[in-house]
Amino acid sequence: MTRTVRPCGDTGLLVEVDSLADVLALHAALAAAPPDGVLDLVPAARTVLLRVRSPADLAAVADDVRTRETARATEREAQGEVTEIGVTYDGEDLDDVAAHTGLSREEVVAAHTGQLWTVAFAGFTPGFGYLAGEHARLAVPRRPSSRTRVPAGAVGLAGEFSGVYPRSSPGGWQLIGRTDHVLWDLDHDPPAVLVPGARIRFRAR
């Protein structure tokens, strides 16, 4: 994998890679054994940001990142548990998703429950995870206009990602169902269930 290490002030580095799969691999390797001095590790679609405690930590962290070995996805999947999330598949956009994908409603549910999802990165609101699946059969555009309020627990699709709204918020994802699994709890640390690297399987109920 190609890694481009870009400067980010005197307390950060932005590592750019070629694909989301490379982000997952690099983030997993760094999260398992963070370089000394790293305070925050922020995966995104093509990058991993590292924020360090002090400017003095930067050079060693950059060296580590350039040479860090990563495990193959199959090896990573052999480790760690899978969180199961029960979903009632009655979302308002289920018919639109079926139309976009050329699947029936039942086939959409089967495609959603039938693959293992990995939280790739967080975005747009605290605790919202972008879940990457094993195939792109459920890839759909965002809704043409956002809803002003999507309830907590709504399960959606956008692009090649799935996601669950941890708290009620505006949102433009195509909604296929809902869960009462608690995904955001400030009395727990970490407060989110959908942390990058976590693996999720959805179950119809």
Partner 1 sequence: MTRLGATSSLTVTATGPLTTIQDVTGRPGRARLGVGVSGAADRAALRRANRLVGNDESAAGLEATFGGLAFRVTTTTSVAVTGAPAPVWVGERPGDVDRAVVVPAGAQLRLGQPPSGLRSYVAVRGGIAVREVLGSRATDTVAGIGPPPVAVGHELPVGPTPPWPVPAVDVAPEVADAAVLRVVLGPRDDWFGAAAVAEFLGSGWTVTEDADRVGIRLDGAELTRAAGREDAELPSEGVIRGSVQVPPSGRPTVFLADHPVTGGYPVIAVVLDADTDRAGQLRPGATLRFRRAGPPSSRRARSGR
| Contact indicator for 67, 88 with CB cutoff of 8 Å | no
Task: Give least dist CB 23 to partner 1, A.
Answer: 10
Site of tokens 């043409």: 144
**Displacement of CA 113 from its chain's centroid (Å):** 17
Residues that bind partner 1 (CB under 8 A): 6-12, 14, 31, 39-49, 51, 54-56, 58, 121-128, 186, 189-192, 195-196
For residues 47 and 109, which CB has a smaller minimum distance to partner 1 in the complex? 47
For residues 51 and 105, which CB has a smaller minimum distance to partner 1 in the complex? 51
Q: Of 66, 56, 7, 6, whose CA–CA distance to 36 is shortest?
A: 56
| Contact indicator for 33, 9 with CB cutoff of 8 Å | no
Distance CA 24, CA 52 (A): 20
For residues 58 and 98, which CB has a smaller minimum distance to partner 1 in the complex? 58
Task: Give least dist CB 119 to partner 1, A.
Answer: 9
Task: Give least dist CB 29 to partner 1, A.
Answer: 14
**Displacement of CA 96 from its chain's centroid (Å):** 23
Task: Give least dist CB 69 to partner 1, A.
Answer: 21
| Contact indicator for 112, 176 with CB cutoff of 8 Å | yes
Task: Give least dist CB 176 to partner 1, A.
Answer: 22
For residues 46 and 66, which CB has a smaller minimum distance to partner 1 in the complex? 46
For residues 22 and 89, which CB has a smaller minimum distance to partner 1 in the complex? 22
